[in-house]
Amino acid sequence: MSRTKTIVLLSFVFIFAFLCETTSAESRKDSENNFLLHNDTEAYMNFCTGFYLMLDHRWEEAIVFFEKTLQSNPNAERIHNYLATCFFQSNKKEKALLHIEKIAQLKPDDFSIHYTLGNIYASEGNGKRAISEYERANSSVMDGVDKVFVSDMLHRLANSYMENGDTENATNAYKKILDLELTDEPVKIHYKLGQIYADAKKMDEAIKEFVKAREASPHSEPIIFYLSLCYEELEDYDNAIATLESFIEYDPDVWLMRINLSNIYEKVKQYEKAELEREKAFGILKESVNKGSKSLREYTTLSQIYQRRGEDREAIYTLRTAISSVIKEDEEALKGVRFMLANIYYEMNDHKHVVNELEKVLQIDPDYHQASNFLGYFFVEKGEQLDEALGLIEKALSIEPENGAYLDSLGWAYYKLADEDDDEKITLALQKLNKASEYAEDPEIMGHIGDVYYSLGYWERAQGQWEVALKLWEKSTAEASPLLKHKTAREIKARKVIQNKLEKLQHLMMVESTMERLKSGERVVRNHTN
């Protein structure tokens, strides 16, 4: 057992011993005198010898005498307590636990024993056993127990519930801390409750807790941040704006608040204000990064702003600076940044660097399904390494089988792999694409379905799908903020591609109609201009 873990476990035992001293004085007196009452002089002498050996830190020797004592009085609570201490000091945790559990059997409603056991199990990573013991402590008699220990137990119980995903019971434990007035910092509890409610999408309840927290700490950045997000989620944009503006008035140099405020202004179509806040955030971030910031988030956010401004080279430089000066050996962070770089290169049509960055991501984490799908789809689009592309996409789907984008990639890959007469692959492609459309209403998916129908000669169906795709592109472009230069340009280009396909198809359908009429001998009337 490690030195650190031993110290932790011993601390729990001493806490337990202290609790026993403060809550069970009468019981201790009875157990100590029990030997004399039974006229068992030998047992009493063994007890005294073990006790003084323990005081001298002669743990192994003390154990021998305490165990002899138990032969005469197997239910002596205090002896079990001392044996637990000696065994822990001797690095014999399992035997120590046996004695503490024995005390729990003797005193099933005792707070101290269950609290101690809960702490020990928690330190060992046994969350379920820890929760069980904390629950027993929570339902036990707490008269005379110091509030410090009760508060600590409830905090530990709430945290254990959270680790197990039991937010309902965690909420109840936190509320009990407030109800019993067991904390000098209720703001922290209200903040925790707010987070739980927000994660559960119970925004009204979350707002109540965050408001209570803000009353105690009016300039807390995390509290203001969450409160504004809750208002935004409820589309209460006035309160969201007012909350953020009040904070910015107090501290104008917090870029995150300005970014959030900018996003809300965009939603309510106040684009000038949105741009102003984003530019102020941009200035703060740029200055911080130029001074050698060690915050990865500042680099990534600054890079995103550069992208929005259409300054791709600056966006790339910012991320590469982050790699060299901040990330270094942090692989988890590195794969995320390289994935961002791949997306920027994709927008720039820099095919070589797209592949290079995505391959590096997958070297770090072969199960990074976003990168697998991206690289697979990229190969499909370029008509390169189609077999490898198929494998990459299938791997992504094995991780997220109901992802509409991944199903679209797979269907498109089948279509690209199919020969003209390969009806099986084309049919399979159509199945996957139609399945993708059930999960996502996306113009690209609709466009792909139209392309497959066109290749099969189902022109009217192709026309219908392309028209749907065009409407979705038009809707996306109309809803896009005018500040999103890249996105808008890309979507305009995609819309033009669909328009060209429709115009070509309409021309072909007109030619085909004319040919059919000629074949049937129908007179074709032509209009001439003089």
pLDDT in tens, 82-112: 898 898 888 888 888 888 888 888 888 888 8
**Is 471 part of a structural domain of the chain?**
yes
pLDDT of 24 over the 70 cut? no
pLDDT at position 274, please? 95
Return the bridge partners of 110, or none: 141
Assign 3-class secondary structure to 407-433. Answer: HHHHHHHHHHHCCCCCHHHHHHHHHHH
| Whole-number Å distance between alpha carbons of 31 and 49 | 16
Name the pLDDT band for 21 (thresholds 50, 70, 90): very low
Same domain for 376 and 436: yes
State the average pLDDT over residues 443-457. 93
Residue closest to 283 by CA, chosen among 294, 298, 271: 298
| Length reported for the chain | 530
Residue closest to 69 by CA, chosen among 79, 58, 59, 55: 79
Residue that terminates a domain, selected from 440, 470, 500: 440
pLDDT of 31 over the 50 cut? no
Is the separation of the CB atoms in 229 and 194 below 8 Å?
no
**Is 377 part of a structural domain of the chain?**
yes
Name the pLDDT band for 485 (thresholds 50, 70, 90): low
Task: Please state, in angstroms and as integers, the Cα–Cα distance from residue 362 to each residue in 332, 336, 395, following that order.
Answer: 12, 11, 12
pLDDT at position 142, please? 81
Burial 367-394 (b: 16+ CB within 10 A, else e): ebbbbbbbbbbbbbeeeebbeebbebbb
Tokens coding 482: 């005018």
CATH number at residue 376: 1.25.40.10
Name the pLDDT band for 397 (thresholds 50, 70, 90): very high
| Whole-number Å distance between alpha carbons of 25 and 45 | 21
Residue that terminates a domain, selected from 382, 407, 440: 440
Same domain for 475 and 409: no
Tokens coding 132: 């069980």
pLDDT at position 328, please? 77
**Is 25 part of a structural domain of the chain?**
no
Tokens coding 119: 């702490």
Going by the DSSP 8-state scheme, the letter that residue 327 receives in this structure is I
State the average pLDDT over residues 329-333. 89
pLDDT of 256 over the 70 cut? yes
**Is 385 part of a structural domain of the chain?**
yes
pLDDT at position 487, please? 65
From the centroid of its chain, how far is CA 236?
25
Of the given ranges (67-76, 234-243, 282-291, 450-459), which has the lowest mean pLDDT?
67-76
Task: Please state, in angstroms and as integers, the Cα–Cα distance from residue 284 to each residue in 5, 153, 231, following that order.
Answer: 44, 43, 25
More confident of the two residues 145 and 461: 461
- Percent of the chain past pLDDT 70, that is, above it, reads 89
What is the average pLDDT score of the chain? 87
pLDDT of 141 over the 60 cut? yes
Residue that terminates a domain, selected from 440, 466, 491: 440
**Is 64 part of a structural domain of the chain?**
no
**Is 182 part of a structural domain of the chain?**
no
pLDDT at position 372, please? 97
| Whole-number Å distance between alpha carbons of 461 and 445 | 14
State the average pLDDT over residues 329-335. 90
Same domain for 430 and 374: yes
Query: Domain containing 414: what range?
Result: 366-440
**Is 427 part of a structural domain of the chain?**
yes
pLDDT of 12 over the 80 cut? no
Same domain for 433 and 371: yes
Same domain for 428 and 477: no
For 141, the 3-state DSSP assignment is strand
Same domain for 419 and 376: yes
More confident of the two residues 327 and 261: 261
**What is the total count of domains within the chain?**
2
Return the bridge partners of 141, or none: 110
Same domain for 432 and 462: no
What is the DSSP code string of 460-505? HHHHHHHHHHHHHHHHHHHHS-TT-HHHHHHHHHHHHHHHHHHHHH
**Is 452 part of a structural domain of the chain?**
no
Rg of the Cα atoms in the chain: 35
Say which amino acid occupies 524: V
pLDDT of 347 over the 50 cut? yes
| Whole-number Å distance between alpha carbons of 335 and 327 | 10
